[in-house]
Amino acid sequence: MTIVPWRSLLRASVAPRFGVFLILWLLAYSGNVTELVTRGYWESVTAQSTFLLVWTAPAVAACGAWEGTRVRRSAVLEGAPTRSPVAVALTALAPTLLLGGLSVALAVSLLAPQAMGYPGWPSLPVMALQLLVVAAHTVVGYVLGLSALRALAVPVALVGSFLWMAYPAALPAFWVRQLNGTNIAECCAIDQTVATRGIIAPAVVAMGMIAAAWLWSMRRRLYQIPAVVALGSLIATGAWIAQPLGYAAAQDRPAAERSCTGAEPRVCLWPEQRRSAAEITRWAGEAHDRLEAAGISVRAEITPMSAAPRRDDVIGLVAFGVLPNDIPACASRGDWPGNLAFGPLHAWLSLTAGVDPVSLAGRYIPQEVEIAERVRELPQPAQQEWFQRNAPTLTVCDQHPNLDPAHYL
């Protein structure tokens, strides 16, 4: 078997030239994705990097199509070839596959600073899926170059790949977007991991693309029907796997990864948050003590949603834990007057717990903050009466809140 030197492969391939534009584009576009990463969480870094497949996959598909047309012109597969079609394909596509692998690694490395210094590492299953998707688009492009009109192969591969990677996100059938590998970018908050189905479904579809392309490359009608059947069957299988996911490709993170304190309020932290554990626990304890001093019983369990939460975020979580999380069932059948009380009640609890009043401006409408601040000016017993009068309206639909602080003087 003849081994072609890499220098010769790279000189003859279009991938290095196409790769320059792809890498520059990834460098320029990655800034739009960086802000979506959950800071400090490697699972989120790897998940968000899949969004850049929207650009990488069409690029390698176009390169694969170019290589396919080049092999077709060379007639190396005609007659009695000295190398198998698979060996010829691997040789021709090696630079393109290398470009795809480097692009996947680059996508992760561009977002990696968001998690540097925090525990963990990039998700290997997600990276493996990206490499599989890249390989699938490369192979399909190559077979298109072998089979289609030479003038159409590259543009059809480029546009077709882009449409498959980008368009499903606009479809109303949520499961469709799970099949191309980019919807993993919808994951992950710090309490989530990439759903197993979210990895398996696009992996099955990618393997279907590779299998169908291989069968079609036999260039015999005998294999064309099995190629279509293989692709359709594996797409259907991927759809069946993805169906329960709906819109997101995330699942709950195992609760066993958290570590919890035994004090009140109970503070449960993910590994990424443990470097800030002392501050988080202290802030939560101070908020708990202030609320207890105001006559408010606190039995909350809090888990911040960022790796390095701010003081007001932690205090706000403690305050939020005093109120019920769910709206009453009766609210779905009619009016819920207590809805008007939620904002003022939570704003008052936040102020009482020690949240900086300035930080409330972006969380509540001004009228709600104004009511809370006026209640804070009342004597302590009057504040307790105001809270005890209005809090029950959050759980029923037949009571109206009385939020005017003047009624409690």
Average pLDDT over the chain, rounded to whole? 88
Query: Residue 217 has what pLDDT?
Result: 82
Query: Residue 75 has what pLDDT?
Result: 66
Scanning 250-302, the segments in alpha helix (DSSP H) are 277-293
pLDDT single digits (tens) 29-72: 888 899 899 999 999 999 999 999 999 999 999 999 999 898 88
Specify the pTM. 0.86
Quick one: which of 387, 339, 340, 347 has its CA closest to 363?
347
SS3 290: helix
Domain borders along the chain are 6-253, 257-408
SS (H, E, C) 295-346: CCCCCCEECCCCCCCCHHHHHHHHHHCCCCCCCCHHHHCCCCCCHHHHHHHH
All residues at 6 or more sequence positions from 6 whose CB lies less than 8 Å from its CB, including other chains: 94
Collect the ranges in the chain with pLDDT lower than 70.
1-6, 8-10, 75-83, 219-220
Give dist(CA 281, CA 303) in Å, integer.
Answer: 11
Asked if 186 contacts 202 with a C-beta cutoff of 8 angstroms, the reply is no
pLDDT single digits (tens) 321-363: 888 877 878 877 778 887 888 889 999 999 999 999 888 888 8
Give dist(CA 316, CA 357) in Å, integer.
Answer: 12
Query: Residue 321 has what pLDDT?
Result: 86
Q: What is the largest CA-CA distance in the chain?
A: 100
